[in-house]
């Protein structure tokens, strides 16, 4: 439990006591549950040496995210003050599926970057959200990622949930962590799947040779993907995919791992299929769309399901594939 916060003129130091029910839990998961910080924020604080065992900031042993915690242990979490936003609001048309005082669900188009990064300082979803929401965005994600609870790749389209306050951000992050947030995708993959329904359970880590890629690796983070075939046309399978975990590039890595890369994927082997070469105008990246999102509203406790239609590029690919079967 969170005991108190001490301000030393530069940053807050929060004292956290581990309750019995979290005995033996990984440190990053436990502290994310016991503070108002997301798990990724906790990991950044750990990497920066800002979380210690004991009650005196800087005097205890720095904590690693893989360390296990024990009931009754006390930890000091040093939380830097919020930085000023250096991301400018931009007026843009956003496809907002739902919005209230706590959350916003948006249908992101293919090609839009979620948050600013080197080479993408403007035109991102965050720039648009800052214009639309003003100051009503959670700050937990940091100055570059206000309100962002989870992400999808630039060339993946579909649904994202945005937190409009820190309470909502913490609750939604917890749902991601315990897998109660349900995310369903549609994707076209190369080849026929070995079975109508299947699961890929394979850990994912940064690729050892190419740091821009991810790969299945024994020492990677736990990752589970469930898929269902919706039909095969022209050597390509239309799939419904449900994420149990949310690792970077997870669907793309897992489908390539089992020999069925996502159609059009330029990173994991899906761009050389004859269909891609025949219809290049359809492909600006992978055929992958976040079609449904199920979550529990952080304020009301209501179970909510959001859906969006398949984008034009995906529907046109299906039409052409169906024609090829006639």
Active site residues: 153
**Owner of token pair 């609750």:** 171
**Crossing angle, helix 166-177 and helix 39-47, to 10 degrees?**
90
Report the b/e string of 162-177 with b at 16+ CB within 10 A.
Answer: bbbbbebbbbbbbbbb
Nearest-angstrom CA–CA distance, 276 and 166: 43
Nearest-angstrom CA–CA distance, 127 and 182: 26
- Bridge partners, residue 107, by sequence: 95, 159
**Owner of token pair 């579909």:** 158
Kindly state the helix (H) or strand (E) to which residue 41 belongs, with its residue range. helix 39-47
- SS percent in the chain: helix, strand, coil, step 5: 20, 30, 50
If DSSP states are collapsed to H, E and C, what string results for 53-77?
ECCCCCCCCECCCCCECCCCCEEEE
Residues 6+ apart with CB under 8 A from 156: 110, 285, 286, 288, 289, 290
């Amino acid at each position: 439990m969170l005991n108190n916060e001490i301000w030393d003129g530069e940053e807050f130091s929060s004292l956290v006591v581990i309750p019995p029910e979290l005995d033996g839990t990984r440190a990053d998961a436990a502290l994310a549950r016991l503070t108002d910080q997301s798990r990724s924020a906790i990991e950044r604080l750990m990497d920066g040496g800002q979380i210690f065992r004991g009650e005196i900031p800087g005097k205890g042993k720095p904590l690693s995210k893989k360390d296990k915690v024990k009931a009754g242990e006390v930890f000091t979490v040093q939380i830097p003050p919020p930085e000023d936003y250096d991301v400018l609001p931009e007026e843009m048309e956003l496809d907002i599926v739902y919005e209230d005082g706590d959350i916003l669900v948006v249908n992101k188009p293919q090609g839009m970057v979620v948050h600013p990064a080197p080479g993408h300082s403007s035109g991102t979803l965050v720039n648009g959200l800052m214009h639309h929401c003003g100051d009503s965005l959670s700050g937990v994600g940091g100055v570059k990622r206000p309100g962002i609870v989870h992400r999808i790749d630039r060339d993946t389209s579909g649904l994202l949930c945005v937190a409009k306050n820190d309470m909502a951000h913490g609750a939604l992050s917890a749902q991601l962590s315990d897998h109660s947030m349900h995310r369903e995708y549609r994707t076209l993959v190369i080849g026929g799947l070995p079975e109508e329904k299947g699961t890929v359970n394979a850990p994912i880590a940064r690729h050892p040779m190419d740091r821009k890629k991810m790969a299945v690796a024994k020492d990677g983070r736990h990752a589970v993907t469930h898929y269902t075939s919706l039909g095969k046309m022209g050597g390509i399978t239309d799939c419904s995919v449900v994420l149990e975990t949310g690792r970077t590039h997870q669907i793309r890595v897992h489908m390539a791992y089992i020999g069925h890369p996502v159609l059009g994927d330029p990173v994991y082997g899906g761009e050389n299929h004859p269909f891609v070469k025949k219809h290049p105008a359809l492909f600006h990246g992978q055929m992958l769309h976040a079609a449904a999102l199920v979550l529990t509203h952080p304020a009301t406790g209501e179970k909510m399901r959001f859906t969006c239609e398949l984008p034009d590029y995906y529907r046109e690919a299906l039409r052409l594939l169906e024609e090829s079967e006639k």
